[in-house]
Chains A and B, each alone.
Chain A
């Protein structure tokens, strides 16, 4: 008995560190965002003297496990950031609350539709987009011009022509496009562009052998077979920025964080020789689709301060704060009105993302998605390496995905009963 008492002392010490009269709001944010958001907090606390925000910063690499462990240990923060593909998991756990009644309709329309949609599970809103993320084309303007293209490609056929022309340019080993073969995003985007449904029967089964996905996958593999893209994973490129700078590859499908990285790391001489452009489309319907990514803010079900937590979310969602956040991190604002701000309007490289963000789709909103995405990457790599034929890879992918979804099928059957 004495023993447990002794053990409890430090626990109590921690539990009692509440500030008298003020509400302490626990807020978890990831990576650089977690660091930077602390500079926005003082203004919020000034406007809301009764609330104190305690920001805990979690590295991205440990974020998922920290959040789930905190849920399991009933130590969730009041409000937290989460990747928008994680929302389904936290809804399954009933760890986060519905925000529908809190978000005014006017504001709702200000969000990019595809992005906001990722926060809806069964038509109910569980998170509010904080910043957005999608993938598009980064390219070397000078190399494309040299190959005879003054504009970025708008269709797949233009894209192929441009790649052939770049590949034909003289001078050493070079490639037209970098698609790290261990990423699931590229084949998935191409599949969406051709209208593929990745899963069928209310996400009960994999649907990667569908005609649409098959054609997309074929197109993807052809990029390697034609020698347009090098068969490498990201880890194998010792220095990505050096490789882009030296013209080892001329185009790269990647996300907004690389705007800052490229500006930082490319030699000064190259500063004006690269640009961004929305994804080419398989038909005339430019721009082609891309993925709805980003991070959202959510409120924990067990929070005792849900109203105050919502105040913080509202504050961070104000266009001014979103612009300030963009200036600090380079993260793109989730609200269209923030993009009117001169800071963003003048950024042509960012503006390509604005265009793209109007044309995004979301990946299946089920807790199993991360694992399925891992499988896509795995089999895409196998096919690129030639270890499996196209057909075999897709059949194996469907089989694995069916396995992953077995529990979901069981649950749906159980629910139906």
Chain B
């Protein structure tokens, strides 16, 4: 009896703590949306208002009409989608091969790839810029996309998952005379669908949220992605809190929606990616 009520109190406290943690975590996001709906300068009052008195969409209108946000939205979508599609193809081919096909030096090569994940991306950036300059890719979508097409993490993720495909299944297909690419297309890809979805979300979010590289490689306004455009906007409109919040909402909203739609895959993939060799 006492154990039971003790547990109930404990459960209550736990849930209270969790609700508090969730509120603290969600507050900045809530506040961002709320301020974005306030008329100009309303957020500059003291004490800071929590909710808009008379909600307005004027900042969203300004963003789309005067500040060509639609262009940036389109750029971000296009770049993230292209990177996702291409990297899915390339990484799944390699990941599957590292898991199931035999070739010389396979495991050593794979360990080398894994070890090189310690190298920070910044190390490669300076010469990469010079290289892409020679290739004429500076200030193009290509300059953003090409370096992101293959990723070690993506190969790793697919490989971990593909390991669980039974060899007998593949061998049976080979005995039936199917070529390796056919097996990949008709057997492996369908089996790997969950992890492919996971990798797709990872890649899309990564490309959407990426900042440093697009900042470096894109010089022209018309090509900016949302984060770069937002940082640029901040340089000029720092005092317009409400406008900047609206810009932030538009940048963050698509990825949040995507996450909620596909969170099961996302979180499972994250766990799989963290499982040690």
Contacts and interface: CB of A to CB of B under 8 A. Distances in A.
A7 B138 contact: no
Contact of B139 (A60, A61, A62, A70): A70
Interface in A10-42: 10-11, 14, 17, 31-32, 34-35
A62 B235 contact: yes
A56 B220 contact: yes
A396 B124 CA distance: 34
Interface residues of B, number: 25
B223 A59 contact: no
A11 B220 contact: no
B138 A74 contact: yes
A8 interface: yes
A59 B139 contact: no
B129 to A, nearest CB: 7
A57 B133 contact: no
Interface residues of A, number: 26
B134 to A, nearest CB: 11
Contacts of B146: 7
Contact of A57 (B129, B140, B222, B236): B236
A70 B218 CA distance: 8
Interface string B230-249: 01101110000000000000
A75 B78 contact: no
Contact of A72 (B78, B129, B232): B129
Contacts, number: 60
A75 B236 contact: no
Contacts of B139: 70, 73, 75
B227 to A, nearest CB: 13
Q: Which of A11, A35, A56, A73 has the most CB of B within 10 A?
A: A73
A11 B236 contact: no
A408 B23 CA distance: 59
A75 B86 contact: no
Contacts of A61: 235
Q: Which of A7, A34, A58, A66 has the most CB of B within 10 A?
A: A7
A69 interface: yes
A66 B214 CA distance: 12
A7 B141 contact: yes
Interface string A50-64: 000000111111100
Contacts of B216: 69
Contacts of B236: 31-32, 34-35, 57, 59
A251 to B, nearest CB: 28
B235 A59 contact: yes
Contact of A56 (B141, B221, B235): B221
A57 B216 CA distance: 17
Contacts of B86: 3
Given A61-B235, A62-B235, A75 B138 contact: yes
A173 B138 CA distance: 55
Contacts of B231: 62
Given A14-B222, A31-B235, A58-B232, 15 more contacts: A11-B140, A11-B142, A14-B223, A31-B236, A59-B235, A59-B236, A60-B235, A69-B219, A70-B139, A70-B220, A72-B130, A72-B133, A73-B217, A74-B133, A75-B220
Interface of B: 78, 82, 86, 129-130, 133, 138-142, 145-146, 216-217, 219-223, 231-232, 234-236
